[in-house]
Amino acid sequence: MKVAYIVLSVFLLMTTAACQSTPLKLPSASIGPNEKSLGQTEGSSTGIMLLGFIPIIQNTRFENAYMEAVQKGGGTRLTDITVSEKWFWALVLNGYIFTVQGTAVGNK
């Protein structure tokens, strides 16, 4: 029983792994005279590469994360944007979790 547990543990470690990028701060336009700050917000989206070549939500994950952050903040755009990404690997897929953080900006 102990040998089976060790073999299963090694198998899981070999087939599942994860990494994370360092956050990147993007330059953005400052708040204009007809706009107001609505506070901090965050959005994320996950894309998957199934079997290494079948993309699932890969091309729109950046836009989806940004739009989620804007909608959560109740604004029209973001300023002071920081992006980061986490990756995870499993036996048959690679996953990419993209996160956008920033300050929501709306009209006065």
pLDDT, tens digit, for every residue of 48-63?
999 988 999 999 999 9
pTM comes to: 0.77
Write out the two tokens for 71.
């909608």
Segment 12-31, tens digit of pLDDT = 665 666 666 677 787 888 88
| Pairwise pLDDT comparison (60 vs 8), residue with the higher score | 60
Q: Which domain holds residue 98?
A: 17-107
Does residue 12 sit within a domain?
no
User: How many folded domains does the chain comprise?
Assistant: 1
How far apart (Å, rounded) are the C-alpha atoms in residues 108 and 83?
26
Contact between 106 and 79 under an 8 Å Cβ cutoff? The reply is no
Average pLDDT of the chain is 87
How far apart (Å, rounded) are the C-alpha atoms in residues 85 and 22?
8
CATH number for the domain harbouring residue 32 = 3.30.110
